């Protein structure tokens, strides 16, 4: 009686199987990456919700007032010290899950600033080293001392200086960022959109562009979460904001969010949604 011998795969059959697996991987990987990114974005929103609660606790303890912005000599990062007692035991909320690592330059050195996928470092104060962060603060939210009328070029009358300032649902508090803080600024005390090419208002020429600490809107205008960033508003809500939509938030008392940016968008942003 003859026995039937088992037959192995031929080379052609093996190549077909490999090709099918490759096709399936090509279909599944983008979906898996989207799921992974959605998870990171959700965790990021949870962090920002915590920052909103922390800032509310601070303002409640100070009769609705905000930080004076002069505790450490560099107002863009003042929030880290002002809020320290509220976050010190849960410092993981300093970092967005999509931007935990530091940015390394071509020479192997670590940069102080970040970009769309990298964190930055705060300045040192006293014997306390600077923290690594990937969120930034709206620099129009300071309660200036009585003898201070301007902070980093920003006049007192444009600041929100109290949590009792009115409707705050479109006023950003903390956002995904590549530097300590920012917010649109035309270099004009009137707060009107008179100079769309000024460093404090114009968008970056490419995603993650670093041009200096005073490029106020470039710090937030990054593609970190689906062509935008996450943000917590002054009244506590957390939501995604498209890159162009950043210019439609109510950053300070006289900022015209209905006009937003009045200049020409750079090519890399031209196809993005306005929201």
pLDDT band at 274 (very low <50, low <70, confident <90, very high): confident
Q: By the 8 A CB rule, do 103 and 216 touch?
A: no
Residue 186 CB: number of other CB atoms within 10 A? 19
Interatomic CA distance for residues 219 and 248, integer angstroms: 16
pTM of the model: 0.86
The closest alpha carbon to 180, from 108, 61, 83, 62, belongs to 83
The closest alpha carbon to 87, from 142, 135, 39, 37, belongs to 135
Q: By the 8 A CB rule, do 168 and 140 touch?
A: no
Q: By the 8 A CB rule, do 206 and 266 touch?
A: yes
- Residue found under tokens 């201070």: 148
Q: By the 8 A CB rule, do 48 and 94 touch?
A: no
pLDDT of residue 7: 59
Mean pLDDT of 42-52: 97
Residue 257 CB: number of other CB atoms within 10 A? 14
Q: Cα dihedral sign for 239, 243, 244, 250?
A: positive
Least confidently predicted of 96-105, 145-154, 218-227: 145-154
Q: By the 8 A CB rule, do 263 and 196 touch?
A: yes
Interatomic CA distance for residues 146 and 192, integer angstroms: 25
Mean pLDDT of 103-115: 92
pLDDT of residue 5: 55
pLDDT of residue 6: 55
E-strand spans in the chain? Answer: 120-121, 132-133, 135-138, 150-151, 154-155, 172-176, 181-182, 228-233, 238-242
pLDDT band at 16 (very low <50, low <70, confident <90, very high): confident
Mean pLDDT of 51-77: 90
Helix residue ranges, H only, the chain = 11-61, 78-82, 84-87
Count helices and strands in the chain by DSSP H and E runs:
3, 9
Least confidently predicted of 33-42, 52-61, 115-124: 33-42
The closest alpha carbon to 117, from 45, 1, 225, 266, belongs to 225
Return the higher-pLDDT residue of 183 and 163.
183
| pLDDT mean across residues, the chain | 89
**What pairs with residue 65 in β-bridges?**
162
pLDDT of residue 247: 96
Q: Could you give phi then psi for residue 200, rounded to 5 degrees?
A: -85, -5
pLDDT of residue 12: 77
């Amino acid at each position: 009686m003859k026995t039937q011998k088992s037959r192995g795969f031929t080379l052609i059959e093996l190549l077909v199987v490999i090709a099918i697996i490759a096709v399936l991987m090509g279909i599944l990987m983008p979906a898996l990456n989207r799921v992974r990114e959605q998870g990171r974005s959700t965790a990021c929103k949870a962090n920002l919700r915590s920052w909103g609660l922390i800032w509310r606790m601070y303002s409640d303890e100070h009769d609705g007032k905000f930080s004076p912005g002069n505790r450490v000599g560099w107002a863009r990062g003042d929030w880290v010290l002002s809020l320290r007692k509220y976050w010190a035991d849960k410092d993981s909320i300093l970092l967005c899950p999509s931007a935990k690592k530091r940015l390394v330059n071509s020479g192997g050195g670590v940069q102080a600033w970040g970009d769309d996928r990298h964190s930055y470092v705060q300045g040192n104060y006293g014997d306390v080293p600077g923290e690594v962060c990937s969120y930034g603060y709206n620099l129009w939210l300071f309660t200036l001392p009585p003898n201070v009328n301007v902070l980093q070029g920003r006049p007192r009358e444009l600041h929100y200086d109290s949590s009792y300032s009115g409707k705050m649902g479109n006023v950003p508090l903390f956002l995904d960022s590549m530097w300590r803080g920012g917010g649109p600024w035309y270099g004009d005390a009137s707060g009107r959109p008179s100079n769309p090419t000024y460093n404090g208002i114009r968008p970056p020429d490419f995603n993650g562009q670093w041009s200096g600490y005073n490029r106020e809107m470039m710090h937030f205008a990054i593609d970190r979460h689906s062509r935008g960033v996450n943000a917590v508003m002054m009244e506590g809500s957390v939501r995604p904001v498209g890159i162009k939509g950043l210019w439609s938030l109510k950053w300070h008392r006289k900022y015209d969010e209905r006009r937003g940016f009045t200049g020409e968008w750079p090519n890399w942003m031209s196809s993005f949604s306005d929201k």
